[in-house]
Amino acid sequence: MTAPFASVLIANRGEIAVRIARTLRRMGIRTLLAAHPVDADSPAARAADLVVPLEGDDPLSAYLDGEQIARAAARAGADAVHPGYGFLAENADFALAVERAGLVFIGPSPRVIALMGDKVASRAFVAGQGGHLSASVVEEDDPDRFAERTLALGTPLLIKASAGGGGKGMHVVREAGRLPAAIERARSEATRFFGDGRLYAERYVERPRHIEVQVLADRHGRCLHLFERECSIQRRFQKLVEESPAPALPAALRDALHREAVAIAAAAGYEGAGTVEFIVAPDGSFSFLEMNTRLQVEHPVTELVTGIDLVEQQVRIAAGQPLPFAQEQVATRGHAIECRVCAEVPEQGFRPATGVVQLLREPAGEGIRVDSGVDEGSVVSASFDPLLAKLVAHGRDREQAIARMRRALGETVLLGVSCNAAYLARVVDHPAFHKGALHTGLLAEHEAELLPGEEEATARAAAAAAALFHGPFLEAIRAVPRLHAAIGRWRN
């Protein structure tokens, strides 16, 4: 099949940039990567055919400079831009800048991003379509009375950023007296991370499940779902473990979620890959949460159970090609689980960790997929999200997928930067996880049980001791950094 574009620029970094490059290369598309100098020697840079430099003293600001990226893509001869997720992936102004530069944005139109990527606008739209929504209030409707109107909903409450995502700008309020401080914290975080301090509030559902539906739509009128993902295992409102299909979900509820997700996407005139997210209460009632107008971090579990490459479909849809399958042709096979390996210290409130990856051994074997953005020598800083890699296990059923994931986590070795692999192993080993009794508060509920035991501490000490006798590891920690080596024998 002819490649839909000659060249595509990836406006992202880390594991998602590597993952997108893999599909582009398979499709015969020349791969360009927009990269700040701190990522010039990253795995993503090495996966690209050409690195397009981004300017700026602050790396994060460079990846958020949509005008610079659009101009750089045009100068480099790109035909299209893939935003990945995070950064500018749901920024309508960036999509518009790409179009103004004469390029194709691989994603929905700026109009749809502005509509569905904005939490407040999307909720109003879904309400107009007769969708399921929880009670909520919007700050900009009456800013002076926002706190008063919020309290009228009753506690507990959830304060959220309109332009938010990834758990940023979200705070639970259980006591009325804590509301003002929560509003200020949410506004500060929203302004810092998204440049948009608008807020809204809704009733907080205790022990809910977080279920999302993957949708695909082309410009020829075909809109369908690729089933659902369970995303309830979270810390600080950020997903940590995802799986598909969602375990122990009643068939009628599953079908209702699929139908509503497709209806919302179709009504919005959606094109591309997107995700409609829902909160499911313990009584089985559900409400629309948000729509992510981009690829999700957890998309690999859908790819493994359906056999459909979502990045390829994004690219082909953006080029105007119709979806090559109908809803009745999409089926699931087996079960898949994804664990996010992050640079953090779970025992210290998931404190982000930094450092240099000195030794890395990734798992392999039947049913195991690793999407990684680091290798030995990679510098992990506080400038970016702590996600290092995603481990994904696929099996004939959930039990086999869990067993394969447990083995994969046990085989993962990463020295030089603290990571959460051992914590994730304890999570998938926990009886509540095995039973499929999942809800968004599960990790907090079992916090004490998920702390490391004496055996794990002994194993960590043994691993550290063994590393001191590992030649390549010793060479790595003794090596002169490339930046310092570049000055030669010069001394002041």
pLDDT tens, 313-354? 999 999 999 999 999 999 999 999 999 999 999 999 999 999
% of residues, the chain, pLDDT over 70: 92
Tokens encoding 162: 């309109």
What per-residue confidence (pLDDT) applies to 473? 53
- Does 214 lie in the same domain as 182? no
CA distance 11 to 81: 7
Q: Which of 186, 203, 220 is the last residue of a domain?
A: 203
What per-residue confidence (pLDDT) applies to 470? 54
- Does 213 lie in the same domain as 179? no
Q: Please report whether residue 226 resides in a domain.
A: yes
- Does 219 lie in the same domain as 195? no
What per-residue confidence (pLDDT) applies to 117? 86
Q: Please report whether residue 124 resides in a domain.
A: no
- Does 442 lie in the same domain as 417? yes
What per-residue confidence (pLDDT) applies to 478? 52
Total domains, the chain? 3
Is residue 112 over pLDDT 80?
Answer: yes
Is residue 457 over pLDDT 80?
Answer: no
- Does 217 lie in the same domain as 184? no
Mean pLDDT of 222-240: 96
First to last CA, the chain: 60
CA distance 237 to 350: 12
Q: 0.75 exceeded by the pTM? A: yes
- Does 416 lie in the same domain as 396? yes
- Does 170 lie in the same domain as 60? no
Mean pLDDT of 429-456: 91
Q: Please report whether residue 326 resides in a domain.
A: yes
Tokens encoding 5: 């574009």
CATH number of the domain within which 235 lies:
3.30.470.20
Of 96-100, 118-122, 459-463, least confident by mean pLDDT is 459-463
pLDDT tens across 278-317, in order? Answer: 999 999 999 999 999 999 999 999 999 999 999 999 999 9
* Higher pLDDT, residue 461 or 181: 181
CA distance 370 to 57: 32
**pLDDT grade for 484, boundaries at 50, 70 and 90:** very low
pLDDT tens across 379-438, in order? Answer: 999 999 999 999 999 999 999 999 999 999 999 999 999 999 999 999 999 999 999 999
User: In this structure, how many other beta carbons lie within 10 angstroms of the beta carbon of residue 167?
Assistant: 14
Q: Please report whether residue 113 resides in a domain.
A: no
| Domain extent at residue 16 | 7-106
Tokens encoding 225: 């779902």
**pLDDT grade for 465, boundaries at 50, 70 and 90:** low
66-75 and 92-100 helices, crossing angle to 10°? 30
**pLDDT grade for 196, boundaries at 50, 70 and 90:** confident
Tokens encoding 26: 């398979």
Q: Please report whether residue 116 resides in a domain.
A: no
Query: What does residue 409 show for φ and ψ, rounded to 5 degrees?
Result: -65, -35
- Does 216 lie in the same domain as 186? no
pLDDT tens across 155-185, in order? Answer: 999 999 987 776 788 999 999 999 999 999 9
CA distance 7 to 80: 7
- Does 168 lie in the same domain as 64? no
CATH number of the domain within which 67 lies:
3.40.50.20
Cα dihedral: 197, 200, 203, 205 (round 10): -50
Mean pLDDT of 209-229: 98
- Does 259 lie in the same domain as 152? no
What per-residue confidence (pLDDT) applies to 483? 46
CA distance 37 to 22: 22
- Does 198 lie in the same domain as 219? no
Residue owning tokens 């550290």: 464
- Does 419 lie in the same domain as 450? yes
Q: Which of 149, 172, 203 is the last residue of a domain?
A: 203
Per the CB < 8 A criterion, the answer to whether 32 and 8 are in contact is: yes
